[in-house]
A and B are shown apart, each in its own frame.
Chain A
Amino acid sequence: MRRGLLGGVLAGIADRLGLDPVVLRVLFVIATVATSGILLLFYVVAWAVLPASGEGGPALRPLASLRVRSDWRVAAGVGLLVLSVLLAFRQLGIWWSDTLVWPLALVAFGAALLWGRSRASEPPRQPAPRAWAAGEPAAAEAAVAEPAERRGAPFADLYRGVFGVLLVIGAGLLVLSSNQIFGGLRDAALTAVVVIVAVAMILAPFLWRLGRNLAAERAERVRSQERAEMAAHLHDSVLQTLTLMQKRADDPREVAALARRQERELREWLAGDGRASTERSFAAALRAVAEAVEDDHRVAVDVVVVGDREIDGGAEALLGAAREALLNAAKHAPEPGPIRVYAEVQAERTELFVRDRGPGFDPAGVPADRRGVRESIVGRMRRAGGRAEVRSTRGEGTEVSLEMPHRQAAPEGERP
């Protein structure tokens, strides 16, 4: 695991690319010299940005698992590296001056400490509580080991943090004091710049970590809210229904009706609020009518609707007649189900069919109890300007056909 010499960045990358870390390190040093040290900046940034072990997606795991290190050693290493490179440049006579070399080395050291510290202060991952309950030895050991490692960590963190801050401030002061030669105004401007840079160096890691933690927390909160919502819904509806069904197990029709209603509710819930309101949409209103009959009479009704329209007077009459036809089918032909409703909204008219597979009857000899049907279905449709027809064959069931032209006022003359 501890294959990283410094921050483990190069070892991690080598691991990811399938190269020998030593080769990568040599290449890195050469490249660093060639780019006047800019690559070092990359190293520090990569070290800070790449997630600590256990954090981040699976793609970063190989890198992350190598990030075991001592913050102090790493910080010192970063500081020394920066120093050595800067000194090398000074030796070569490239633009660095003494007044920059020491402060920069100090800043690198301090910043490395601060970044490491803010990472260490991230909230630890919660150990799975179930592992504790089950008493799994491996999990328990891990859970014990973690607190032991973290014991006394707050003090060390504070110490490291303060030291890092002091280093950065000291570097700033060093820059200021070694630039006394500059005049008043320039001096003030330089002071401001140095202070701003120093403050930014100190605060940036904390703000950075804070932002990342907040985002993670928010995502977690949203997830748990969704879970709670779903649990509440399942509890209110599905579990209740299942309990009811067990209680009514001796009544198959009741059980079937309960299951059917629950199925309908669950489907609606899964589909979201996609369904149109029953006040405007004819299709939605027809489904609502069918559902009401299903619930009241313990029958199964299958509805297929093609097209849709707004509800007007004609559509209301159509819905009323459909309801009567459904009630009639539920009363006289509950089995074998389902009762089928088919409605088609065409350009000039709406057609609606209610079909059952019940015993049927002989249209010639209409029984007395079916008189009501004639008035409630046929009469209603005719008054609204539509048409209704009842067809029945003994042994094969009954079909009520309804037809309503669009936007046509009810003819007054036909009112009884």
Chain B
Amino acid sequence: MSGAKPSVVIVDDHELFRAGVRSELEGLAEVRAEAGTVEEGVVTTLREEPDVVLLDVHMPGGGAVEVIRQVARERPAQRFLALSVSDAAEDVIAVIRAGARGYVTKSISAEQLAEAIARVSEGDAVFSPRLAGFALDAFQGEIPESEIDPELDQLTMRERQVLRLIARGYLYKEIALELGISPKTVEAHVSSVLRKLQLSNRHELSRWAAERRLLD
């Protein structure tokens, strides 16, 4: 991780929660601004151009998905980290597929959140144990050979191993140690899984995403 503290904008409709995150990140990241609505979030993000936008999944007016969609039009390189109390697969997958580079639950500790922010700011992906479980679930099961795009629709053995260790609660450095690879390689595997989650047309993924869009 680089020495400079990453800059952050917090977008969440709960003021108490924003204040909590802000004080938790004191000294760990530079919180530039907060926003309480989707529109405010878009405007603030485009104005501040932070390294990472911390994004609540559920907000009135389309939630995180809508913020990502609108910001991406102006600033496609913007990096988002989704924060949520929801553990529903369709919510998580929809935000990831919209373009977020990671998903963590709101119960995460301050140090882990700071680490996740740092990782996303460097362009890597952040998976919570639950998101790793979802990914394994989504890519489990056979699909007809003819429909497989091996680049996108299947996980490699190594990727599965990495996901399993994340789901078991291992930290990246522990995963690297366990598998005998470098932490950078672990990050590369996770980023590759993220890309597959975002782009694969596997039935489960498209269904989850579609269901979420219907609800918006």
* A interface residue numbers (CB < 8 A to B): 267, 271, 302, 304-307, 336, 338, 340, 342, 344, 353, 355, 357, 396, 399
For the A-B complex, the count of residue pairs with Cβ-Cβ distances under 8 Å equals: 39
- Sample (17) of A-B pairs whose CB atoms are under 8 Å apart: A271-B88, A302-B129, A304-B129, A304-B167, A306-B167, A307-B140, A338-B107, A340-B129, A340-B169, A342-B129, A342-B164, A342-B167, A344-B167, A355-B169, A355-B170, A357-B169, A396-B174
For A401, give the chain B residue with the smallest CB separation: B168
Q: Are A306 and B168 in contact (CB under 8 A)?
A: no
Interface residue ranges of B139-195 to A (CB < 8 Å) = 140, 164, 167-170, 174
From B129, B137, B168, B174, contact of A307 by CB (8 A): B137
Residues from chain B with Cβ under 8 Å of A338 in the complex: 107
Cα–Cα distance between A340 and B165 once the two chains are bound (Å): 11
Cα–Cα distance between A340 and B133 once the two chains are bound (Å): 12
Please tell me if B87 contacts chain A, counting CB pairs below 8 Å. yes
Cα–Cα distance between A304 and B135 once the two chains are bound (Å): 11
Please tell me if B96 contacts chain A, counting CB pairs below 8 Å. no
Cα–Cα distance between A29 and B210 once the two chains are bound (Å): 52
Residues from chain B with Cβ under 8 Å of A305 in the complex: 133
Most chain B C-beta atoms within 10 Å of own C-beta, residue among A267, A307, A342, A353? A342
From B107, B137, B170, B174, contact of A306 by CB (8 A): B137
Cα–Cα distance between A69 and B194 once the two chains are bound (Å): 66
The dominant DSSP class at the A interface is: strand
Cα–Cα distance between A237 and B129 once the two chains are bound (Å): 29
Cα–Cα distance between A355 and B166 once the two chains are bound (Å): 12
Please tell me if B113 contacts chain A, counting CB pairs below 8 Å. no
Q: Are A355 and B168 in contact (CB under 8 A)?
A: yes
Asked whether A344 and B164 contact (CB < 8 A) given A306-B137, A355-B169, the answer is yes
Please tell me if B130 contacts chain A, counting CB pairs below 8 Å. yes
Residues from chain A with Cβ under 8 Å of B21 in the complex: none
A260 to chain B, nearest CB (A): 9
Residues from chain A with Cβ under 8 Å of B167 in the complex: 304, 306, 342, 344
Cα–Cα distance between A307 and B107 once the two chains are bound (Å): 25
Please tell me if B197 contacts chain A, counting CB pairs below 8 Å. no
Q: Are A306 and B136 in contact (CB under 8 A)?
A: yes
Please tell me if B132 contacts chain A, counting CB pairs below 8 Å. yes
A393 to chain B, nearest CB (A): 10
Interface residue ranges of B119-136 to A (CB < 8 Å) = 129-130, 132-133, 136
Most chain A C-beta atoms within 10 Å of own C-beta, residue among B109, B129, B130, B132? B129
Contact with A along B78-111 (1 / 0, CB 8 A): 0000000001100000000000000000010100
Cα–Cα distance between A396 and B177 once the two chains are bound (Å): 13
Known: A304-B130, A340-B168. 16 other contacts (CB 8 A): A302-B169, A304-B132, A306-B133, A306-B137, A306-B140, A307-B140, A336-B109, A338-B107, A342-B167, A344-B136, A344-B164, A344-B167, A353-B168, A355-B170, A357-B169, A396-B174
Q: Are B87 and A267 in contact (CB under 8 A)?
A: yes
For B105, give the chain A residue with the smallest CB separation: A302
For A353, give the chain B residue with the smallest CB separation: B168
Cα–Cα distance between A267 and B129 once the two chains are bound (Å): 19
Cα–Cα distance between A89 and B136 once the two chains are bound (Å): 80
Residues from chain A with Cβ under 8 Å of B169 in the complex: 302, 340, 342, 355, 357
Cα–Cα distance between A305 and B129 once the two chains are bound (Å): 10
Residues from chain B with Cβ under 8 Å of A355 in the complex: 168-170
Cα–Cα distance between A26 and B79 once the two chains are bound (Å): 63
A229 to chain B, nearest CB (A): 22
For A270, give the chain B residue with the smallest CB separation: B88
Cα–Cα distance between A336 and B170 once the two chains are bound (Å): 14
Residues from chain B with Cβ under 8 Å of A306 in the complex: 133, 136-137, 140, 167
Cα–Cα distance between A267 and B91 once the two chains are bound (Å): 14
For B130, give the chain A residue with the smallest CB separation: A304
A338 to chain B, nearest CB (A): 8
Cα–Cα distance between A357 and B130 once the two chains are bound (Å): 18
Residues from chain B with Cβ under 8 Å of A344 in the complex: 136, 164, 167
10 cross-chain pairs, A with B, having the tightest CB-CB distances, nearest first: A340-B169, A304-B133, A342-B167, A342-B168, A353-B168, A306-B136, A355-B169, A306-B137, A304-B167, A304-B129
Residues from chain A with Cβ under 8 Å of B174 in the complex: 396
Cα–Cα distance between A134 and B87 once the two chains are bound (Å): 43
